[in-house]
Amino acid sequence: MRICLAVQSRKLAAIIAAALASLASTTSIAVADDIKLTPTAQNEETAPSLTIGTGINWLSLPSWGSRRPDFFGSGDSRVVDDGLNLGISLDLPLGQIGSQPLILEWNGSIADLSSDSTDRTSLAGQNSLNLSYGNSANGSINTLTASPTGTLPAAAVADVTVNDSAGGTAHIHSDASSSLADGRITQFASSSSVAGGVFTALVTNGGTPSAAAYAAYADNTGITLAATGDLSNSAIVDERSEDATVIDQTLLLGAPIDLQGGWTITPKFGPMYRSIDRDVDFRRTLVIGASIPGMVVPEIGVGQTDELDARYVGALAELGISRALQPDLSVSFDARFGGAYLHSHYRSHYSAILPSVSTGAFDFVSETRDDASLLAGVGAGLRYAPSENLVVGLDAGVNFVNKVPTINYVADAGGGVSPTIGMSHAIDYNVSVSITWRF
């Protein structure tokens, strides 16, 4: 969404302060909606105005998977983040060029967008599971056994130890046995050390009969988890969630030119700023099925947190065209094109997920890249003026950025992958409604 602003009196200064306070207290924002009113008469063109609008944005962005594609998968090539937006526009007449007014606009917008996806993989048919992230904490799963399916008693044993990076230790020994056909046991335990901890879970069912054992240890260097036995009631759940914040600012100088037939054409030019901040969280958790109905075993797993920020600084040219259909009704069209310097910054780390255990993040990665990008967009709007100083607008638009950062993975010498910043394009679709006050 876009916002226009211009002020030169005490009254307008108060308006700006109120508008900015409203923007700061709002959690929803807009990417590039065209909410400005295009004046249809000379006296309207030279009057200061304030426009506030809100709407919905759909932003198509390049996507990426986790640094562990063997676990999380490669991810979709693109993702659509959607959400609400908010925009404000203020215009300030500066004078005239010949017989035409000269208008200074400050346009700004903010959009809060998000997307998420989930994939669940059943462990039915598997009798073992081993996962490790990071450099593997200094620990060991000393014992992890489960009796074969169909054998009574259904029994399981887990013994796990960690000696964390801060010198702390934690240990759990757990066993369970169901010797009767109607006997069922589901138990779990966790223990914290200074910078890590351990976890065990045992599930036995004398009626099946079957048994399963789970164990994990972690600290701020990595996590290791394992499972054995009948894992048919358990599953691996992979989740990807993204929050994107997009802020646009432009300062445009324009001169409306009245033409015959009720047409007005307005060329504009000025500096622009845009930021696209993306926070992407990956989670892989082991969901342990209980043998007792209604009982829930805490999830264990690992999370990856990525932050990819883009900053655009450049210049934008815009051409607006409007036509009065009736004294209180008009339509408008606009097109814009510009270029910007682009600075991208990527940060990533892992963290262990263990119940009642706090561990620090590990395996940090940081990358930067500088580039140049082109920006373009088109929009259309409808304006209705129920009174002399009040205008209601409806707008729709499409905006294109030919370069936005994304993450590519390159195989490294250690058999893993190293993330690097690549480039792709983004397309924003938006619809908004607005109210304009003239002063």
Cross-strand bridge partners of residue 375: 338, 401
pLDDT at 74: 58
pLDDT at 11: 37
pLDDT at 96: 85
How does DSSP assign 42-71, residue by residue? HHHHTS-EEEEEEEEEEEEEE----S-HHH
Radius of gyration in angstroms for the set of CA atoms belonging to the chain, rounded to a whole number: 30
CB 296 within 8 A of CB 313: no
pLDDT at 197: 96
Cα–Cα distance for residue pair 74/28, rounded to 1 Å = 30
pLDDT at 182: 86
CB 344 within 8 A of CB 301: no
Strands 390-411 and 362-387: what pairing? Answer: antiparallel
**H/E run at residue 12:** helix 10-24
Cα–Cα distance for residue pair 420/431, rounded to 1 Å = 34
SS (H, E, C) 424-435: EEEEEEEEEEEE
Neighbours of 392 (CB within 10 A): 14
**H/E run at residue 192:** strand 184-192
Residue 410: name the closest of 106, 18, 64 by CA: 64
Cα–Cα distance for residue pair 234/121, rounded to 1 Å = 9
305 contacts: CB under 8 Å, gap ≥ 6: 279, 280, 281, 282, 348, 349, 350, 351, 361
pLDDT at 437: 94
Cα–Cα distance for residue pair 175/160, rounded to 1 Å = 12
294 contacts: CB under 8 Å, gap ≥ 6: none
CB 137 within 8 A of CB 224: yes
Per-residue pLDDT of the chain (439 residues; tens, 9 = 90+): 333 333 333 333 343 344 334 433 333 333 444 434 344 444 445 689 999 999 999 999 999 988 887 666 656 689 999 999 999 999 999 988 878 899 999 999 999 999 999 999 999 999 999 998 887 778 999 999 999 999 999 999 999 999 999 999 999 999 999 998 889 999 999 999 999 999 999 999 999 999 999 999 999 999 999 999 999 999 999 999 999 999 999 999 999 998 888 899 999 999 999 999 999 999 999 999 999 999 999 999 999 999 999 999 999 999 999 999 999 999 999 999 999 999 999 999 999 999 999 888 999 999 999 999 999 999 999 999 999 899 999 999 999 999 999 999 887 766 667 899 999 999 999 999 999 999 8
- φ, ψ for residue 30, nearest 5 deg: -130, 150
Query: Strand ranges (DSSP E) for 327-416?
Result: 329-353, 362-387, 390-411
Cα–Cα distance for residue pair 94/439, rounded to 1 Å = 15
Residue 85: name the closest of 218, 248, 284 by CA: 248
DSSP 303: E
